[in-house]
């Protein structure tokens, strides 16, 4: 299980940038910046929309901490583009269709929903420091207030 201080697992994923262009993204390309990497189950669902919009609304403050936001879900870049356009999202969304990157981060596995145990994306957020090490981890995220928690951690250098 990934923990604070570990080197963040590298990735190369297709995604949609803040302008709606489909590109390949790699963690390495953000070297020198802090990265807020958050895993979410599905585009355009109530909780995922709330979380994405909270990050969207706080992006200016995030950027002041030399950080960027990247959202990752199993959805396709085409789905990400529709979600991004509908919600006016201003940060990249990356596609992890086989959930391999989510597995590396411990953001895929068993979870309980309505009394049933299923396999799926476990809503999780990681702050990766400018040198590529995991700085902070939130697992099994509750959407309400989460973006504010992340912002506080960024601003306080946690």
Q: Per-residue pLDDT averaged across 19-44, rounded?
A: 95
The confidence score (pLDDT) of residue 36 equals 98
Q: What is the CA radius of gyration of the chain?
A: 14
| Residue positions annotated with a catalytic role | 48
Q: How many CB atoms lie within 10 A of CB 155?
A: 13
Task: Give residue limits of the domains in the chain.
Answer: 12-155
pLDDT digits (tens, 9 = 90+) for 92-111: 999 999 999 999 999 999 98
* 8 Å CB contact between 14 and 98: no
Give the residue-averaged pLDDT of 27-39.
96
> How far, in Å, CA of 125 to CA of 44, rounded?
18
pLDDT at 10: 96
Listed residue (29, 143, 147, 153) closest to 94, CA to CA: 29
- One DSSP character per residue, 6-73 reads SBPPP-EEEEE-TTS-EEEEEGGGGTTSEEEEEE-S-TTSHHHHHHHHHHHHTHHHHHTTTEEEEEEE
**Over the chain, what is the mean pLDDT?**
95
Question: Which of 22, 47, 21, 51 lies closest to 36 in space, CA to CA?
Answer: 51
CATH top-level class for 12-155? alpha beta
Strand ranges of the sheet holding 134-138, from the earlier edge strand across to the other edge:
22-26, 12-16, 93-95, 67-73, 34-39, 124-128, 134-138
Q: Which helix (H) or strand (E) holds 150?
A: helix 146-155
Residues 84, 150: Cα–Cα separation, whole Å: 21
Mean pLDDT calculated for residue range 74-95? 97
Quote the pLDDT of residue 158.
65
Mean pLDDT of 18-37: 94
What does the alpha-carbon distance between residue 10 and residue 74 come to, in Å, rounded to a whole number?
17
């Amino acid at each position: 299980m990934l923990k604070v201080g570990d080197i963040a697992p590298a990735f190369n994923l297709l995604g949609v940038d803040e302008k709606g262009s489909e590109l390949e993204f790699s963690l390495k390309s953000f070297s020198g910046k802090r990265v807020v990497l958050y895993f979410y189950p599905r585009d355009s669902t109530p909780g995922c929309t709330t979380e994405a919009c909270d990050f969207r609304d706080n992006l200016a403050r995030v950027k002041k901490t030399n950080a960027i936001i990247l959202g990752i879900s199993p959805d396709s870049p085409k789905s990400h583009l529709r979600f991004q356009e509908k919600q006016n999202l201003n940060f990249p969304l990356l596609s992890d269709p086989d959930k391999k990157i989510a597995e590396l981060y411990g953001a895929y596995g068993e979870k309980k929903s309505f009394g049933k145990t299923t396999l799926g994306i476990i809503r999780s957020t990681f702050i990766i420091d400018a040198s590529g090490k995991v700085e902070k981890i939130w697992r099994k995220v509750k959407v309400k207030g989460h973006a504010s928690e992340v912002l506080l951690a960024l601003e306080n250098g946690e």
